[in-house]
Amino acid sequence: MASASTIFIAVIGAGGVGKCFLTQLRDLAVRRPSPKLSLCYISTSRRALYNDDYSAINLDNAIDVLAASSKAPPTLTDLVAYLSKAPGKAIIVDNTSSQEVAETYPTALKLGVSIVTPNKKAFSGSYQLWQDIFQASAASGAKVYHESSVGAGLPVISTLKDLVETGDEVTKIEGVFSGTMSFLFNSFAPVIGSGGKWSEEVKKAKALGYTEPDPRDDLNGLDVARKLTILARLAGLPVESPTSFPVESLIPKELESCSSGDEFMEKLPSFDQQMEEKKASAGDKVIRFVGSIDVGAKDVKVGLQTFDPSHPIAALKGSDNIISFYTKRYGNNPLIVQGAGAGGDVTAMGVTADLIKVIGQLA
């Protein structure tokens, strides 16, 4: 039975991250019985599970029951209205990459519903949406946390916020923000040895599940640009959108018009020479796909850069991310956050940690 101290949780999206999050939520609810955490809603794009009286959905088999549900999801407006009338505080956990869901955050927050999400869309879309979200949160007191929108579960956003809020001066942020790009360049241009052919490495990364189903979605640099937009805004730069600064795409011009990912993969070997030349032009250094923000110069960019083999960015392993914060307090030795920047469990960990922060402030 729900009581005023119950926190109502609505999970939108039950894919790779959503499923891991539900497991973590089930364990969290057992470890921390008060306030009671009650799953009142769960949906994918086609199915939903919820009860009009907000009674709890069993966390042990929510995924199976959702898969068998014949209920279609309500409109997002109706969902937000439903949650705003819950007999206790409500939190939306958005585990989708949907722009439409992201655009409902200001309305949800205005109505007192908090948001926790790994979805980058709301925070890297228009600057207006960013302002609407944080103004709505400030006005209603509802919370919004999105640690896993950059670097998955790595403490990137919380670290940057702490630096800024404690009065340090962040001068530069630089790093490898994509597990896919990390994997590709660590094997295409390793510190030791000559590495494989570009198209072969892309094929390998796709087969291992490191790329999006259509690898062009990684190679166009937009995913990294979205992460840089979020960090630049948190560092105080009013970046308009992820397309308002230079982003180097690794899709050859001639292949931009391919009608499918498969056609792109078929034709990519003809362009291996272009990437070989870039690799060779680095000389004694190695090339890496990085994002950087020069806060003082208000300069944000994403693309290929060369690094000395002894540089931490060059020495990165596997599909790890690395993010260096250069600040006045840290001087010449940046504060570095490094580790797995993708994967269901680690991403869901960032989401669950955010949820715990919100619960701590609402309870």
Ligand X SMILES: NC(=O)c1ccc[n+]([C@@H]2O[C@H](COP(=O)([O-])OP(=O)(O)OC[C@H]3O[C@@H](n4cnc5c(N)ncnc54)[C@H](OP(=O)(O)O)[C@@H]3O)[C@@H](O)[C@H]2O)c1
The residues assigned a catalytic role are 227
The single residue among 57, 83, 91, 118 that binds ligand X, judged by CB under 6 A, is 118
Contact call for residue 18 and ligand X (CB under 6 A): yes
> Which phi and psi angles does 197 have, rounded to 5°?
-75, 145
Contact call for residue 116 and ligand X (CB under 6 A): no
Minimum CB separation of residue 178 from ligand X in Å reads 10
Local structure of 327: helix, strand or coil: strand
The single residue among 343, 345, 353, 362 that binds ligand X, judged by CB under 6 A, is 343
Contact call for residue 13 and ligand X (CB under 6 A): yes
Minimum CB separation of residue 21 from ligand X in Å reads 9
13 annotated binding-site participant: yes
Minimum CB separation of residue 30 from ligand X in Å reads 23
Alpha helices in the chain (DSSP H): 16-31, 62-67, 76-84, 99-102, 105-110, 121-124, 127-140, 157-165, 179-188, 198-207, 216-219, 222-234, 261-267, 272-281, 344-362
Cα separation values, 255 from 39, 137, 147, 264, Å: 46, 43, 34, 6
Contact call for residue 291 and ligand X (CB under 6 A): no
Contact call for residue 347 and ligand X (CB under 6 A): yes
Cα–Cα distance, 278 to 274 (Å, whole number): 7
Minimum CB separation of residue 172 from ligand X in Å reads 23
**Which lies closer to ligand X via its Cβ, residue 186 or residue 321?**
321
Which positions ≥6 away from 114 have C-beta within 8 Å?
89, 90, 91, 92, 142, 143, 144, 358, 362
Contact call for residue 195 and ligand X (CB under 6 A): no
The single residue among 26, 28, 36, 45 that binds ligand X, judged by CB under 6 A, is 45
Minimum CB separation of residue 103 from ligand X in Å reads 11
Minimum CB separation of residue 138 from ligand X in Å reads 24
**Which lies closer to ligand X via its Cβ, residue 180 or residue 327?**
180
The single residue among 96, 182, 186, 306 that binds ligand X, judged by CB under 6 A, is 96
**How many Cα atoms are found within 13 Å in the side-chain-facing hemisphere of 21?**
32
Contact call for residue 14 and ligand X (CB under 6 A): yes
Length of the chain counted residue by residue: 363
Contact call for residue 95 and ligand X (CB under 6 A): yes
Segment lying near ligand X (by CB under 6 A), choices 7-15, 125-133, 308-316, 326-334? 7-15
Contacts 24+ apart (CB under 8 A), 237-240: 237/293, 237/295, 237/298, 237/300, 238/127, 239/127, 239/300, 240/126, 240/127
- DSSP code for 71: P
Give DSSP secondary structure letters for 116-159: E----HHHHS-HHHHHHHHHHHHHH---EE-GGGTTTTSSSHHH
The single residue among 9, 152, 156, 251 that binds ligand X, judged by CB under 6 A, is 152
303 annotated binding-site participant: no
Segment lying near ligand X (by CB under 6 A), choices 25-33, 113-121, 138-146, 198-206? 113-121
The single residue among 11, 17, 181, 228 that binds ligand X, judged by CB under 6 A, is 17
The single residue among 101, 156, 181, 247 that binds ligand X, judged by CB under 6 A, is 101
96 annotated binding-site participant: yes
Contact call for residue 342 and ligand X (CB under 6 A): yes
Which positions ≥6 away from 223 have C-beta within 8 Å?
120, 177, 178, 217
Contact call for residue 119 and ligand X (CB under 6 A): yes
The single residue among 64, 100, 162, 169 that binds ligand X, judged by CB under 6 A, is 100
- DSSP code for 56: P
8 Å CB contact between 87 and 40 = no
Contact call for residue 12 and ligand X (CB under 6 A): yes
First to last CA, the chain: 18
Longest distance between any two alpha carbons in the chain, whole Å: 67
Contact call for residue 209 and ligand X (CB under 6 A): no
**Interaction site with ligand X (CB under 6 A):** 12-18, 43-46, 73, 95-98, 100-101, 118-120, 148, 152, 342-344, 347
